[in-house]
Structure 1
Amino acid sequence: MKKVGIIGGSGFIGSYNTQKFLNEGYQVKVSTTDLSKKEKYEHLLSLKNAENLEIAQLDVENKQELMDFLKDCQIVIHGGTPFQLDVKDLQKELFDPTIKGTENFLEAVLKTPGIEKVVFIASVAAYNTNFPFLPAGKTEGEQITENDAPFMSEQGIPYAQAKFIANQAVDKFIADHPNLSFEITSVSPTGVMGKSLSNRQDSTSTGIQFLFKNKIAPNPFIQMIYDMDVLWALVDVEDVADAIFKAATTKNTHGKNYLLSGESYRVSDVTLMLNNQSPVGKPEIVYSSELAMKDLGIAFKPVSIPLNNYSS
């Protein structure tokens, strides 16, 4: 039985990753920043095959703890960077764990024997820090693909900038180490939607769905999204977990970063679907997932499915 280590395996996407690998017969080690805070991970203990689950404490900025966590893992999924839009200390709460944590992780992986595959859960921000707005040079009706030059704007939200820089660190590591004994593959989902597997209240993905469902604007950024009725690219959280599993178990995907996106709808239509009503507009495909469909065999669900699941 192979062992997979999932950094961030109790979060919104991470919980679905943990569930997927347990269902597929893997031993799964999941990180948590504090073992004493059981409310962060206790929902995982009731998953099917949870007897094959191990919870381990990990600070991604602590190199020794990283080495201990990676030991005996053949596959490692790194999704442990914070997804926060409102932070008080950008460096401490966002940039250090995202960028320095990624660099430390890569250094630890290099020193750990037996690893066969590393999968990074990046972000659409790796291709466009302006998300959900279009990158410079693109207009409505045009698609964004992995072949487009990544767009970085200093006007982008700090979370997006941190994810962009972390992805650059991964690319540099791959370029600097041409003869690795393992593969590194990344996935970059757009707006991840669906029902949380936990009752935690600190998930940004779940929080965004709550805001859109109830038309709440806690800050000027969200208000601007409503005012402009932004075209929002969405993807089902179950499809993301499926793509991560396929990326982890498919050979010859080294160095690739797959865009994961289903349909795009106006935010007003997202609100309707979150309230189990039919959208007014037609879906568009803004971020192309053709490469993930071709290489990984992913069939992306209509986004009405995860939006309806959130409300169920």
Structure 2
Amino acid sequence: MDQKESASIKGKVCVTGAAGFFGSWLVKRLLESGYNVEGTVRDPGDYKKIGHLWELEGAKERLHLVRAELMDEGSFDDAIIGCEGVFHAAFPVLYPKSDPKAEVLDPAVEGTLNVLRSCKKSPLLKKVVLTSSTSAVARSSSDPKQPLDENSWSNAQECEKLKAWYPLGKLLAEQAAWRFAKENGINLVSVIPSFIIGPSLCNLHVTASDILSLLKGDNEKFARRGRMGYVHIDDVASCHILVYENDNTEGRYLCTSTVLEVPELASILAKRYPWLPIPTSFPSYVQGPRFEYDTSKVQKLGIKFKGIEEMFDDAIQSLKEQGHLP
């Protein structure tokens, strides 16, 4: 079967935030799977930011980039109308500079609603896959031994109190999406990845920057993240495509592999990469409540998560190739 035949079977889908760290990788895997992809970006003419997308296999034949802004209602229409599936991966910023509401919360929520409003206009639409985050998942049970699962939600008031704007943005955006989808009959599923690790197709992004600081010996910046789940970027992309292609998927899907404390992670990395100045002491680190994730729901779809070593092998190789590590 040639590419054209494969593409006609797979159909056309849209990826918002197509030039980002995860969005780029999702576009890559969708093209390799034979889809026609409409990717939304802020500026299709900014080759410095979007050039890596045109280097992907199948891009010249089956990728179309469209300008869209999260806060501009209707700006996603051109990309989405005519698509059978939409993957909403776009998110405004991880860390606000001065105004969290204007920089993170409003674009996260209104941007998601603007995407869904465009989805509502598409007569061919079959399913929307929303990229959420485990930062929108927290303990909703008093039993500390109970793993977190798809029924667990973070507390908005607690996030605001802690000034945790990224978790709050992800939480509010996902909740708004579920309300809109229910009210408008949209078939929505959400994928909830933990901290995504792996090779980057785009320029240095915030996630890689934080990892890079740890690999270069900073024992403060990464220590603030606390106990956390980690997942390979390819597994996250696979999960998105699995839940999209499976007719029986519904609700939320936790997507994470390994949960570690920062000192545990650093110890593993220091032994595996002894030539890097990875710190093994974290004086400011405060261990929080222990937790694990129950990923049985997504594993039933057939996904097998890569381990922490493979995640970082691929991430470090990518950082080397981009000139960020020796």
* Structure-2-length-normalised TM-score: 0.81
* 1:57-68 equivalence runs, <5 A: 57-68=67-78
Give the CA deviation at 1:136. 8.0
Q: Which has the larger displacement, 38-47 or 235-244? A: 38-47
Match of 2:253 in 1: 258
Match of 2:147 in 1: 143
Give the CA deviation at 1:48. 1.0
RMSD between aligned alpha carbons?
A: 2.4
Please state if 1:191 is matched with 2:195: yes
Give the CA deviation at 1:272. 4.2
Give the CA deviation at 1:150. 4.4
* 1:195-206 equivalence runs, <5 A: 195-198=199-202, 200-201=203-204, 203-206=205-208
Question: What runs of 5+ residues in structure 1 fail to find an aligned partner?
Answer: 129-133
Match of 1:297 in 2: 302
Structure 1 residues 217 and 58: CA distance shift in structure 2, 3 A: farther
Please state if 1:214 is matched with 2:216: yes
Question: What runs of 5+ residues in structure 2 fail to find an aligned partner?
Answer: 1-7, 281-289, 318-326
Give the CA deviation at 1:58. 0.7
Match of 1:172 in 2: 179
Aligned counterpart in structure 2 of residue 288 of structure 1, from 284, 294, 307:
294
Match of 1:38 in 2: 47
* 1:122-141 equivalence runs, <5 A: 122-128=132-138, 137=142, 139=144
Match of 1:307 in 2: 312
Aligned partners of 1:41, 1:310: CA distance in 2, in Å?
20
Give the CA deviation at 1:123. 0.9
Identical columns (%) = 24
Please state if 1:270 is matched with 2:240: no
> Per-residue CA shift, 1:184-238, capped at 9, x if unaligned?
110010111112122x12x12212211222242676xx4544xxxx332111110
Contact 1:213 1:272 in 2 (8 A): no
User: Matched residue of 2:75: which SS?
Assistant: helix
User: Matched residue of 1:63: which SS?
Assistant: coil
Aligned partners of 1:309, 1:265: CA distance in 2, in Å?
19
User: Matched residue of 2:169: which SS?
Assistant: helix
Contact 1:212 1:270 in 2 (8 A): no
Give the CA deviation at 1:91. 2.5
Give the CA deviation at 1:269. 3.2
Give the CA deviation at 1:70. 0.8
Contact 1:136 1:151 in 2 (8 A): no
Match of 2:38 in 1: 29
Give the CA deviation at 1:29. 1.2
Structure 1 residues 218 and 65: CA distance shift in structure 2, 3 A: farther
Match of 1:131 in 2: none
Aligned partners of 1:74, 1:175: CA distance in 2, in Å?
18
Q: Which has the larger displacement, 266-275 or 188-197? A: 266-275
> Per-residue CA shift, 1:118-155, capped at 9, x if unaligned?
10001112213xxxxx778464x542111335444232
Aligned counterpart in structure 2 of residue 232 of structure 1, from 216, 228, 245:
228
Aligned partners of 1:82, 1:215: CA distance in 2, in Å?
29
Contact 2:76 2:118 in 1 (8 A): yes
Aligned partners of 2:38, 2:22: CA distance in 1, in Å?
15
Match of 1:117 in 2: 127
Structure 1 residues 112 and 83: CA distance shift in structure 2, 3 A: same
Amino acid in structure 1 at the alignment position of 2:310: I
Aligned partners of 2:142, 2:111: CA distance in 1, in Å?
32
Aligned positions, number: 290
User: Matched residue of 1:48: which SS?
Assistant: coil
Aligned partners of 1:299, 1:11: CA distance in 2, in Å?
24
Amino acid in structure 2 at the alignment position of 1:40: K
Larger radius of gyration: 2
* Structure-1-length-normalised TM-score: 0.85
Aligned partners of 2:294, 2:49: CA distance in 1, in Å?
34
Match of 1:163 in 2: 170
Match of 2:324 in 1: none
Structure 1 residues 173 and 246: CA distance shift in structure 2, 3 A: same
Q: Which has the larger displacement, 60-69 or 209-218? A: 209-218
